[in-house]
Amino acid sequence: MRSVSWYMTCVAGLFSVIILSYGCMETRPAKQPDDAVIKVASCIGCHTSYATLKEVADPDTDPPVEGCGGAAPSIDPFDRVFLGGPGFERFKNSAHGELECTFCHGGVDNTSDKQKAHSGDFVKWPSTNAQAACGDCHYDIVENVEGSLHQQGWGQKNAVALRLGYASYDQLPDNIHKGYEQNCAVCHAGCGSCHVTRPEAGGGGLYKGHEFQRTPDMRDNCVACHSSRGGHAYFGLGAGTSPDVHLTKAGFSCMDCHSQQNLHGDGNLRQSL
């Protein structure tokens, strides 16, 4: 028969193993997140990962916006928010690129959780409140644009009212206001629609990787909204038309004739240029 001392030795050894194992568990580093999670755990990280954007994108549920030029081009949700290409590289090295994403967009940075990132004070299109997003640096422009044709579409609103026999747009029934906002108003938006993104009538989404365009592109920005006269007549796209001489002979862009004041406004309410 084995002695009591032998059993005591075994028990003591087992107890020592348990203590040592517990000690190892206590001092062992916590499991680190997967490298892929670390990579996308930020605004920039997620929006520069095309695979991640495709995985977490919400499908479009609303039909493409309709403007005077017909239905907007279809651009996938993940393509509309992808940060990449030479434009994004230029954006990173610009004054706007030095700002944290949350400075303009709000929300929560340094997370891979889409819902958390887009929570709180998150703003998809900061320039819809231009005073807050752009006013600190571009005060004079923001002050003027509030009453401009581009921002408000006064002439178009008045035309709708007159056709329906009303003295002003404000007097129109709610259903007409709703129809205007869903169709006509897609061509009248904030600063970003010309300087950062494509207009909704052009498919929406970031243009050139979030690079800020000092001068909007004539075809991708201006003509996306001004399709009937700008796109069809000036470029000769309408049936039986040919390109305008100002384009073919002089190569004029929109800005050669239309001044910055025309586009941004001058602080006065105008029904036409």
Q: Where are the beta strands (DSSP E) in 98-167?
A: none
Looking at per-residue pLDDT, the higher value among 46 and 263 belongs to 46
The pLDDT of residue 28: 40
Judged against a pLDDT cut of 70, whether residue 169 lies above it is answered with yes
Three-state secondary-structure class, residue 246: helix
Judged against a pLDDT cut of 60, whether residue 250 lies above it is answered with yes
pLDDT tens-digit readout, 130-155: 889 999 999 999 988 888 888 888 88
Three-state secondary-structure class, residue 244: coil
**Helix, strand, coil % over all residues of the chain, rounded to 5:** 55, 0, 45
Q: State whether the Cα torsion 243-188-123-100 is positive or negative.
A: positive
| Separation of CA 124 from chain center | 6
pLDDT tens-digit readout, 216-229: 999 888 888 888 77
Q: Does any domain span residue 21?
A: no
Q: Does any domain span residue 164?
A: no
The pLDDT of residue 212: 96
Residue 105 domain boundaries: 35-153+188-264
The pLDDT of residue 180: 87
Burial class (CB in 10 A: 0-12, 13-18, 19+), 206: buried
Q: How many domains does the chain have?
A: 1
* Rounded Cα–Cα distance for residues 220 and 224 (Å): 6
Residue 81 tokens, joined: 């928010």
The whole-number average pLDDT for the span 239-250 is: 91
With cut-offs at 50, 70 and 90, classify the pLDDT of residue 271: low
Give the DSSP per-residue string, 208-266: STT---SS--IIIIIHHHSIIIIIIIITT-STT----HHHHTT---GGGTS-HHHHH--
Q: Does any domain span residue 42?
A: yes
Looking at per-residue pLDDT, the higher value among 198 and 238 belongs to 198
The pLDDT of residue 66: 66
Place of tokens 């490298």: 35
Q: Does any domain span residue 47?
A: yes
The amino acid at 218: M
pLDDT tens-digit readout, 9-35: 444 454 444 434 444 434 444 444 455
Three-state secondary-structure class, residue 66: strand
CA distance to 33, 36, 126, 269, per residue, from 42 (Å)? 14, 12, 19, 42
* Rounded Cα–Cα distance for residues 25 and 30 (Å): 10
Three-state secondary-structure class, residue 96: helix
Q: Does any domain span residue 167?
A: no
The pLDDT of residue 197: 94
The residue length of the chain stands at: 273
Which strand (E) or helix (H) includes residue 53? helix 50-56
Q: Does any domain span residue 272?
A: no
The pLDDT of residue 72: 74
CA distance to 11, 28, 111, per residue, from 24 (Å)? 20, 6, 30
* Rounded Cα–Cα distance for residues 217 and 208 (Å): 11
Judged against a pLDDT cut of 60, whether residue 233 lies above it is answered with yes
The pLDDT of residue 207: 93
Judged against a pLDDT cut of 90, whether residue 90 lies above it is answered with yes
Place of tokens 């309408």: 238
pLDDT tens-digit readout, 170-198: 999 999 999 888 777 777 768 998 999 99
Looking at per-residue pLDDT, the higher value among 193 and 239 belongs to 193
Place of tokens 């105008």: 270
Q: Does any domain span residue 23?
A: no
The pLDDT of residue 33: 47
pLDDT tens-digit readout, 41-86: 999 999 999 999 999 999 988 776 666 666 778 899 999 999 999 9
Q: Does any domain span residue 2?
A: no
Q: Which of 112-116, 149-153, 157-161 has the lowest mean pLDDT?
A: 149-153
